[in-house]
Amino acid sequence: MVDTGKGIRIMRIIKRLKYAVKDKIENSFKAMNLTAPQGMIIGTLSRFGPMKISDLSKHVALSNSTVSGIIDRLEKHGFVERTRSESDRRVVLVCITEKFKDESKQHHNDVKDIFEELLNNATEEEIDTIMKGLDVLEKVIDKHQDEEDL
C-alpha cells in the first residue's frame, strides 16, 4: 500500500508539470494563431499523415463532431484540406496543406527546443533518473488500466 502523503505528492508534481508543459505548448500554438485542440490536430496530422476524421478523433481523444468543427476552421485558414482517398472514393482524408507544412514543422522544432532547453540544467544522470521514473510510472498506470479492463 502506498503512503497517502506520497501519492498526493506525486499527483501534485504531475499536475504542476502538466500545467507547465501545457503553458509552453499553448504559447507555441498562439504564435501560430492556433488553439490547443487545433495544435493537437495539426501535430497529429504532421506525425501520422493524412487521416480520416474518425481516426483523428481517436488520436486526440475528442468527438468526431468536435474534430470536424475544428477541421472546418483549420480549412478556412488554409492549414488543412479534405481530400478523397484514391483507393476508396467514399473515404475523406484530412491532411496538412503544403503551405502550412513547413511552418508547422518549424513550430514543432521550437517546442522541442524549449523542452531541451529546460533540461539543459540537468545532468545526464538526472535525465536518466527522470526517464526511468516516468517509465515506471507509465507501467504502473498501464497495469492498473489493464486490471480495470478485466
Is 145 inside any structural domain?
A: no
Give the pLDDT band (50/70/90) at residue 52. Answer: very high
Beta bridge partners of residue 81, listed in sequence order: 95
Q: How far apart are CA 145 and CA 106, in angstroms?
A: 36
Is 84 inside any structural domain?
A: yes
Mind spelling out the 3-state secondary structure of 96-144? ECHHHHHHHHHHHHHHHHHHHHHHCCCCHHHHHHHHHHHHHHHHHHHHH
Give the C-alpha distances (Å, rounded to integers) separating 77 from 49, 60, 63, 67: 19, 20, 22, 15
Is 32 inside any structural domain?
A: yes
Is 129 inside any structural domain?
A: no
| Model confidence pTM above 0.75 | no
| Spacing of C-alpha 90 from chain mean position | 28
Of 128, 110, 106, residue with least CA distance to 119: 128
Task: Identify the domain containing residue 99 by its residue range.
Answer: 4-119
Percent of the chain scoring above 90 in pLDDT: 36
Give the pLDDT band (50/70/90) at residue 80. Answer: very high
Average pLDDT value for the chain:
85
Q: Which cell goes with 39?
A: 495544435
Is 126 inside any structural domain?
A: no
Residues in the chain: 150
Domain tally, the chain:
1
Q: What is the mean pLDDT of residues 48-71?
A: 93
Higher pLDDT, 66 or 10: 66
Q: Are the C-beta atoms of residues 40 and 56 closer than 8 Å to each other? A: no
What distance, in Å, lies between the first and last C-alpha atoms of the chain?
21
Higher pLDDT, 147 or 16: 16
State yes or no: pLDDT of 91 exceeds 60. yes
CATH number reported for the structural domain that contains residue 104 in this entry: 1.10.10.10
Instruction: Check residue 67 and give its pLDDT.
Output: 95
Which of 4-8, 44-48, 73-77, 115-119 has maximum average pLDDT?
A: 73-77
Is 17 inside any structural domain?
A: yes
Is 125 inside any structural domain?
A: no
Q: What is the mean pLDDT of residues 27-31?
A: 74
Is 142 inside any structural domain?
A: no
